[in-house]
Structures are given as structure tokens and as C-alpha cells.
């Protein structure tokens, strides 16, 4: 009887030792796994980030997101503004360790720009295989047919800088038009440039004389009248012609 009890105790001790060894091994594996994961994701930042960024529908096949007419949630509900209710986007993939810490809205931020030969960095455009359910892909040719580009942007009525720029572009001279080119040079005189201003005044006088020669002198065509068309009254003592 005593021998049987001793054997049972020996087996229990062996089981306890094995259990402890098993728990120690499991603990080491768990701690090691957590440590490696923390090192990779928090220290090395070695993982891929996917982001939705703006896409140009005139040149690219973009994903098309449209607002939900039935939704009341901000960000999904329609606002009545086309630019807010429809969004053309593409998927940008980049390794987190290569993304600079800057505001993507800043024009100098390169968070969404792949470096030359950079690994794990790409843009994903829309196609039949990756388009989400409920969305569709844009086609550049179809988009340009429905939204033809404007040749010139319209200026606001109170935007003097834009209006003046439009006038200057509309008054561009042909290369062989010397008179027009001379007028442009005269118009570009700086304040205090007396020589340039004198040339400008001389040019204006020459233009006025040329205009008078083309139209003719009214006093020659109609004797007895002044340039203004009033009858000519000779001074006292003068004999009329």
C-alpha cells in the first residue's frame, strides 16, 4: 500500500514538472511574439498603409464615390454641391516607415508621392476586379465628353487681377506686327523712365496724326467751318475770302 502511494506521488510530481515546463515555454513564446510584433509595428513601422487619395478623372480610371440620398449621416448624406457629393479617388499603398510626418494637405508634403525605385509603394486604379460593391469606375474619354475642359477660366466681376490678365492675354501681338509690339513696349514703361515715356508720347502723337490723315481735315473739306463744325467768323477788320 505504501509503495502504491509513493508511485502515485512520483507520477504527480512528474506531471507538475512537465506542466510547469509547458507553461514556461508557452509564456516565452507569447512574450517573444508580442515583443517582435511591437518592434516591427511600433519601432520599425514595417507595415503597409492604404489610403484613398484624389484622382484625376480626365486622365485616370478612378473609383467613383457618390453620396447616399437616403442617409442623414454627415459625410455620407448629399449636400447638393456636386464637388462634395461625388468624389473621384484611387488607392495609395506605401510602407509606413517611408511616409514623412507631415500634413498631406500641405503642397510640400510628399506623403502620397513614391520615391524613385521605392519598394512597397504603388497606386491602385479602378478596374472590374477591384471596384467595391455599389461603386463604379470612371472612364477618361467618357468623362471628357460629359465634362469638356474650358479653354479659359471665367473671371469674377470683382477680380481685377484676373480681368487685367485676361485683357493682356487678349491683346497679344503677332510677331510681325511692329506697331502693336511698339505699343506694348511703351505700355511697359516704368515710373521715372523719362526716355521711355517720351517715346510713348511721341508714338501717341504719331498715331493721332495718322488717324487725322486717314479721316481727312474737316476744315479743308468744308471751307468756312472750324474743326468743330461751327461757322468761321473772321475777326473785325478782316476781309472775308
Task: Please tell me the distance from the alpha carbon of residue 100 to that of residue 97, in angstroms, as a whole number.
Answer: 8
* CA-closest candidate to residue 207, choices 226, 185, 182, 229: 182
In this prediction, residues 126-135 reach a mean pLDDT of: 90
Q: What percent of the chain has pLDDT over 70?
A: 61
Q: How confident is the model at residue 125 (pLDDT cuts 50, 70, 90)?
A: very high
Between 66 and 134, the more confident residue is 66
pLDDT tens, position by position, 152-201: 556 666 666 666 655 554 455 666 666 666 666 655 555 556 776 677 67
In this prediction, residues 214-222 reach a mean pLDDT of: 52
| Domain regions of the chain by residue span | 52-144
| For residue 77, pLDDT beyond 50 | yes
pLDDT at 62: 95
Residue 126: Cβ-neighbour burial (10 angstroms; 0-12, 13-18, 19+):
buried
| For residue 58, pLDDT beyond 90 | yes
Chain Cα centroid distance, residue 19: 65
Determine if the pTM surpasses 0.85: no
Amino acid at each position: 500500500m505504501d509503495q502504491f502511494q509513493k508511485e502515485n506521488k512520483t507520477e504527480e510530481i512528474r506531471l507538475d514538472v512537465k506542466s510547469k515546463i509547458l507553461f514556461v515555454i508557452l509564456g516565452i513564446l507569447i512574450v517573444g511574439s508580442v515583443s517582435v510584433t511591437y518592434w516591427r509595428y511600433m519601432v520599425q513601422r514595417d507595415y503597409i498603409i492604404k489610403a484613398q487619395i484624389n484622382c484625376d478623372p480626365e486622365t485616370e480610371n478612378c473609383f467613383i464615390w457618390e453620396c447616399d440620398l437616403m442617409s442623414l449621416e454627415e459625410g455620407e448624406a448629399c449636400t447638393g454641391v456636386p464637388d462634395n457629393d461625388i468624389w473621384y479617388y484611387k488607392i495609395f499603398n506605401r510602407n509606413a516607415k517611408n511616409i514623412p510626418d507631415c500634413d498631406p494637405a500641405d503642397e510640400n508634403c510628399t506623403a502620397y508621392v513614391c520615391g524613385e525605385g521605392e519598394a512597397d509603394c504603388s497606386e491602385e486604379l479602378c478596374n472590374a476586379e477591384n471596384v467595391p460593391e455599389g461603386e463604379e469606375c470612371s472612364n477618361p474619354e467618357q468623362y471628357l465628353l460629359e465634362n469638356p475642359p474650358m479653354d479659359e477660366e471665367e473671371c469674377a466681376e470683382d477680380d481685377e487681377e484676373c480681368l487685367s490678365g485676361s485683357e493682356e492675354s487678349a491683346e497679344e501681338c503677332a510677331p510681325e506686327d511692329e506697331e502693336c509690339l511698339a505699343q506694348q513696349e511703351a505700355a511697359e514703361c516704368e515710373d521715372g523712365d523719362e526716355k521711355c515715356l517720351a517715346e510713348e508720347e511721341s508714338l501717341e502723337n504719331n498715331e493721332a496724326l495718322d488717324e487725322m490723315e486717314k479721316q481727312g481735315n474737316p476744315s479743308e473739306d468744308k471751307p468756312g467751318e472750324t474743326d468743330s463744325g461751327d461757322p468761321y467768323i473772321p475777326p473785325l477788320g478782316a476781309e472775308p475770302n
